[in-house]
Chain A
Amino acid sequence: MKKNSNNNDSELIEKVKKGNKMAFNFLMNKYYSRVYASLFSFTKSHEDSEDLTQMTFLKVWQQITTFRGDSAFFTWVYRIAINLAKNYVSSANFKKQKINTSIEEADIEIKSFDDSELSLIHEQSLHKIRNFIGSLPESLRTAFTLREQDGLSYEEIGKITNTPIGTVRSRIYRARESILDHINQEIIKND
């Protein structure tokens, strides 16, 4: 039973500290879009937000050993991102700085959004996704929204819905798979 809904993060971070790129890849893919969304509120530019997001994760990889676990991992990542964003806002030479912080020099592969991912960050796509979530069977919808919207752990969701944790896990997974199928068939396919 895990009450902390991001409990696996600490295990993954320990792996990253030992140089485990697979664990870093997981954390980067998990948090990339959240960091990007946060940065967008500063830059109002897709290109700059994505550049800053990549630079953020490059710094995460380089500085992970300094993460002491005093805060949640995302909070620490967010702080790095916001510091970079402040430099971006105050510096007219951001483009030059980008060149000096070349991601190609790092020994790690940094993610970028592909076209299908970008196609999801559109009003029409978001509307379709939210509508589809609303049409999910009640049991899947409840488990999924309690997890994603309210951030509850599987254990907490199980208590609220009077359901075993294994069932909660399965329902959340089935909800995600249904949404993923819908996205592949109705959104990405049509691009």
Chain B
Amino acid sequence: MTNINEKLSALYDGELEKNEIDNVLRELENSKELKKTLSIYSLIGLSIRDKQNITHIASANLRKDNKIFSKLWLSNALTAAASILLTLFVVNYADFSRMNISTESANKIASAVNSKEAKEVVANSNEFLVDHIMNVINDPAFMDTKNTIDLRNVGYNISDKQNLGYSNGRESFKLRIENSDFGLNRIRYWRHGNKMIYLVPISGGRVVTIYGNISASKAIQIANSIKQ
């Protein structure tokens, strides 16, 4: 036997001649590669000798991977959300008419979202804002705020005491208020499936998040009622 790896294999099996052991140990001490080879020999042996145990471990690792994949997905989703930000800020008047929004509201929103300043904000990408939107989309509990707001003056009642949703029979949504305005000074909104997400800055440096199947004009109306 001249190959050190072959000697290592024999020592692993407990079959190396006694006078060759020290030589292999010295080589092993100076070579990370050999140590790794030895460790992998052991894992290979385990994979066929102790199938049941190793499969349990592998299954657990697979579950751990799933969590990692979900994080990766979220990371990708953040990138996607950044794209949504850019896309939705060039929405024009025609889009608003398709959403059955009054011309007056459409004018207000369009002027806000199509302004040069708004586009610059988006172009600079507000990571925190994207994070917030992804929480709205991905975390079902995120919009379940504990503080209820009386919105009967604008025609909405609490529809679901458990999950704190609001409805007027046709439109339903959830709402939460942040004690930070995210640097927003204009309305921002996103489409997610058949729902919309509106961020409306209100007094006191706060922002209202409204998420549901609700029109922009109604969202503004609701936010204005909270202002008062």
Binding site for B on A (CB under 8 A): 2, 4-9, 11-12, 15, 20-23, 25-26, 29-34, 37-38, 40-41, 44-46, 111, 113-114, 116-118, 120-123, 125-126, 129-130, 133, 145, 147-149, 151, 153-154, 169-170, 172-173, 176-177, 179-180, 183
| Contact between A33 and B46, CB atoms less than 8 A apart | yes
Count how many pairs of residues, one from A and one from B, have CB atoms less than 8 Å apart in the complex: 145
- B47 near A129: Cβ-Cβ < 8 Å: yes
Contact of B28 among A22, A114, A172 (CB under 8 A): A22
Min CB–CB distance B35 → chain A (angstroms): 6
Q: Which residues of B contact A (CB under 8 A)?
A: 1, 3, 5-6, 9-16, 18, 21, 24-26, 28-29, 35-50, 53-62, 64-65
Choose among B10, B12, B13, B46 the residue with the greatest number of A CB atoms under 10 Å from its CB: B13
**Chain B residues in 8 Å Cβ range of A32:** 39, 42
Interface centre among B28, B36, B48 (most CB of A within 10 A): B48
Per DSSP, chain B at the interface is helix
Given known A5-B13, A25-B28, contact A11–B21 (CB-CB < 8 A)? yes
Between A and B, 20 residue pairs with Cβ closer than 8 Å are: A2-B14, A5-B13, A8-B16, A20-B25, A22-B29, A26-B11, A33-B39, A33-B46, A34-B42, A37-B53, A37-B54, A37-B57, A117-B36, A121-B54, A126-B54, A129-B48, A130-B48, A149-B48, A180-B37, A180-B41
Chain B residues, Cβ within 8 Å of A154: 13, 15
Name the 4 nearest CB pairs between A and B, nearest first. A6-B14, A22-B25, A173-B9, A8-B14
